[in-house]
Amino acid sequence: MSWGTRLGHAVEVTVLVLAGAVVLGHVLGQPILLGYVTTGSMTGTIDPGQGFVAIPIQLAGPVHIGDVVTYKAQVLHHGKLTTHRVVGTRAGGFVTQGDANLVTDQQAGEPIVHRSQIASKALQIGGHVVVIPFLGTIVHATQGIFDALHRVVAAVVGPQTLSPTQLSMIVLAAVGGLYALGGDDDRRVRVRATHRETGIDGTLTLAAIVVLVVAAVTGAAFFGSGTTHVAMDSVAPANAGNGGVTAGTNATRNLTLANGGLLPVTAVVASDSRGVWVHRPLVGLGPGSTTAVPITFHAPSTPGRYRRSIRVQRYPAVLPSGVTLALFRVHPLAPLALDDVLLAVLAWAAGRRLLGPGRVRFRSRDGVGSTLDRVRRAIRSRDG
């Protein structure tokens, strides 16, 4: 294989991996590998429309002052993901601020950011964020195309058929399938006999597929899990009309859970504090759905402000719900471990079925690699 063909394949694989990361981010409702900004709050570090490499917080290690983090805001940007720099620490959390902002997020009304809210850290080399030019611009332009296509589909077959995100996933999956299964005049993946030395080892290819699937699902489970802190005021009976919960009594509130991805999940809700009772410890969430979980709080007899903690652990909806809850009571990571094993087996079986035995060889007649080869031969011919 010539150097031009290798370069062409490397470019193609890189583009596919990056596109796949963006697609997984949409499907799972969380950033996977890549993130981008759309506002000017980080101008000078990450300009609007630029992207960055997002390292999952579970892999990134401790959060320090100077790190650029993506966290689930409570107030800013209507509660959406926000990418800002950590500029300070406080008891139980962090102070954050956009590099181009004059005030911290907390001065703008955002509560202290807890570690459980942080989804990822931006990759930095030598103190500088690694920036991907035009990533956000391309994603938004593509989403605009999908939104326009959705309006056309809705006008023809009805508005309740598919959401813009679902339609975009179908189109992207179709494009990927056509790429992999293209005709003789395009690119295709072929399986060769094991005695051939060309191509990529089939076992390594399958292993990479399994790792990608398991990592994506595990990352989504970690991203969507965490501890929610609820402030509760225990007030004297004479002040009950001013808000809060009368000291010594109980009050029930709803905790809203949402699934922004396209895959169903099972959520286990548990109390990390005394005097808190969860009425629905096991919740199933379909794609794009929300649900309310009733939780009863007991107000201590001594008036004051108290903070209660509620843990939400999410899992892919692979195991029966009863099995998930039983394993959670053994250890919160036990259901996820069994989910990963089952998904790894399914991914391996599906990959083996599609690829078959032997080595995987990429063939390109009109791709970038062939074009570079032709250019190189032309230069040699002219020099000769």
What pLDDT score was predicted for residue 83?
Answer: 93
Core vs surface per residue 128-139: b (16+ CB within 10 A) or e: ebebbeebbebb
What pLDDT score was predicted for residue 1?
Answer: 54
Q: What is the mean pLDDT of residues 97-104?
A: 88
Helix, strand or coil for residue 93?
strand
> Can 31-133 and 225-330 be said to share one CATH topology?
no
Residue 36 backbone phi and psi in degrees, to 5: -155, 165
Taking the domains of the chain in order of start, what are their residue ranges? 31-133, 225-330
Mean pLDDT, the chain, rounded, equals 76
Q: What is the mean pLDDT of residues 101-112?
A: 88
- DSSP secondary structure code for residue 113 in this structure: B
Helices 3-28 and 202-223: angle between axes, nearest 10 degrees? 30
Percent of the chain with pLDDT over 90: 15
Q: What is the mean pLDDT of residues 170-193?
A: 50
- Closest of 339, 340, 256 to residue 295, by C-alpha: 256
Kindly tell me the sign of the dihedral angle through the C-alpha atoms of 14, 20, 24, 25.
positive
Residues 6+ apart with CB under 8 A from 10: none
Indicate the pLDDT class of residue 368, thresholds 50, 70 and 90: very low
> pLDDT (tens digit, 9 = 90+) per residue, 209-256?
788 777 777 766 666 677 777 777 888 888 776 667 889 999 888 887
Domain at 225-330, CATH from 2.40.10, 2.60.40, 3.40.50, 1.10.3470: 2.60.40
Angstrom distance (rounded) from CA 51 to CA 36: 4
Strands 118-122 and 124-125: unpaired
Task: Return the bridge partners of 72, or none.
Answer: 81
At 128, the amino acid letter reads: H
pLDDT of residue 309 exceeding 60, the answer is yes
- Closest of 307, 237, 301 to residue 271, by C-alpha: 307
Percent of the chain with pLDDT over 70: 63
pLDDT of residue 194 exceeding 50, the answer is no
- Closest of 257, 335, 254 to residue 296, by C-alpha: 254
> pLDDT (tens digit, 9 = 90+) per residue, 248-294?
999 888 887 777 666 788 999 998 788 899 998 999 888 777 888 89
- Closest of 334, 29, 32 to residue 165, by C-alpha: 29
Indicate the pLDDT class of residue 13, thresholds 50, 70 and 90: low
CA count, 13 A, side-chain hemisphere, 106:
14
Indicate the pLDDT class of residue 187, thresholds 50, 70 and 90: very low
> pLDDT (tens digit, 9 = 90+) per residue, 115-145?
888 888 999 999 899 998 877 777 666 666 6
At 312, the amino acid letter reads: V
What pLDDT score was predicted for residue 80?
Answer: 81
Which architecture, in CATH terms, is 31-133? Ribbon (2.10)
Indicate the pLDDT class of residue 85, thresholds 50, 70 and 90: very high
